[in-house]
């Protein structure tokens, strides 16, 4: 097995250590378990969440940027 170094915020490390003490497992085992876990069915990417909205907004085909000619210096 190869090693890796990961820097974690103090609060995250504290929670991991507390869980390790409670479950009798090592912090490394908990991290490996989380890294290897299959994502939940409920967790989807932003694309998956918003894909059904594509093309559902009506409006002008003009770009939503400002018309720079209005801001010309005189």
pLDDT in tens, 10-25: 999 999 999 999 999 9
pTM for the model stands at: 0.50
4 within a domain of the structure (yes/no): no
Give the pLDDT confidence of 14-68 residue by residue, as tens digits. 999 999 999 999 999 999 998 887 666 666 777 777 777 776 666 666 666 666 6
Output the CA torsion sign for 20, 23, 24, 30: negative
Beta strands in 26-67 (DSSP E): none
Cβ neighbours of residue 19 under 8 Å, at least 6 residues apart? 25, 30
Establish if 35 belongs to a structural domain.
yes
In a domain, 1, yes or no: no
Distance of CA 37 to the CA centre of its chain: 16
| R_g over Cα of the chain | 24
Q: Tell me the residue range of the domain where 29 lies.
A: 11-39
In total, how many domains does the chain have? Answer: 1
């Amino acid at each position: 097995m190869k090693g890796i170094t990961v820097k974690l915020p103090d609060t995250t490390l504290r929670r991991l250590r507390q869980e390790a003490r409670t479950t009798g497992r090592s912090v490394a085992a908990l991290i490996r378990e989380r890294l290897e876990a299959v994502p939940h069915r409920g967790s989807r990417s932003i694309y998956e969440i918003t894909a059904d909205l594509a093309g559902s907004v009506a409006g002008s085909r003009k770009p939503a940027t400002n018309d720079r000619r209005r801001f010309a210096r005189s």
